[in-house]
């Protein structure tokens, strides 16, 4: 999986639940809420005032490392 700004948070969490740590780090503590699981990474970052590109880079690096 490669995460983009359009990736849906629920899909990312379903693919690799341990990615939750990156969303929690930006203050997104409502990961169990159906609304948050349906948001794109870009939407969540806009709401939480964080850099979507930086978050995506961290998640993609984590996922790539997990596949080794």
Q: Note whether 42 and 6 are within 8 A (CB).
A: yes
Q: What is the pTM of this model?
A: 0.91
β-bridge partners, 8 = 40
Domains for the chain: give ranges and CATH numbers: 9-66 (1.10.3910)
pLDDT in tens, 8-61: 999 999 999 999 999 999 888 888 788 888 999 999 999 889 999 999 999 999
């Amino acid at each position: 999986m490669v995460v983009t700004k359009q990736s849906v948070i629920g899909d990312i969490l379903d693919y690799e639940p341990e990615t939750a740590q990156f969303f929690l780090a930006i203050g997104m503590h409502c990961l169990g809420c159906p609304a948050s699981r349906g948001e794109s990474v870009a939407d969540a970052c806009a709401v939480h005032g964080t850099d979507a590109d930086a978050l995506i880079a961290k998640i993609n690096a984590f996922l790539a490392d997990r596949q080794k």
